[in-house]
Amino acid sequence: IQMTPDIDKPVLQVRVSWPGASPKDVEQEVVLRLERELTSLSGVQSVESDSRRGRARVTLTYGVGQDMDAALVKLLGQLARVSGLPKGSKSPEIRTSNSEDSP
């Protein structure tokens, strides 16, 4: 018997590919811009990011019970406002998952 059930927290991930860029450049030119725009989204409980050579990942964790269809629509709208991503970077991709999914 488990006293606290496993509840998957809803997660949306934004991934951006920037071939050849260093992790530091990815963080400064992509991740920080995305974090600045996405942390204000309603329902977001935490924001985590990962900068690697040629790619960025920003993970938004929402509260249990969050309407994820509405969250996705808001995320798409907010991403449309992000400007100044570096030349050579790809358009942001969104992935839906829960906290138990692999990276």
Mean pLDDT of the chain: 89
**CATH number of the structural domain spanning residue 31:** 3.30.70.1430
Note the maximum CA span of the chain: 54
In a domain, 4, yes or no: no
Total-model pTM = 0.84
User: Is pLDDT above 70 for 79?
Assistant: yes
* Average pLDDT rounded to a whole number, residues 21-43: 95
In a domain, 3, yes or no: no
**Which residues span the domain enclosing 16?**
10-98
Between CA 101 and CA 41 the distance in angstroms is: 22
In a domain, 32, yes or no: yes
* 44-52, strands of its sheet edge to edge: 44-52, 55-62, 10-17, 93-98
In a domain, 64, yes or no: yes
Contact 63, 43 (CB under 8 A): yes
In a domain, 103, yes or no: no
Q: How many residues in total does the chain contain?
A: 103
User: Is pLDDT above 60 for 98?
Assistant: no
| DSSP per residue, 59-101 | EEEE-TT--HHHHHHHHHHHHHH---PPTTPPPPEEEEEETTS
Instruction: Compare 32 and 96 and report the one with higher pLDDT.
Output: 32
Per-residue confidence (pLDDT) for residue 102, from 0 to 100 = 45
* Average pLDDT rounded to a whole number, residues 39-57: 95
Per-residue confidence (pLDDT) for residue 8, from 0 to 100 = 66
Other CB atoms closer than 10 Å to residue 26's CB: what's the count? 25
Q: Please give the tally of structural domains in the chain.
A: 1
Q: What contacts 26, CB < 8 A, 6 or more positions away? A: 18, 51, 52, 53, 54, 55, 56
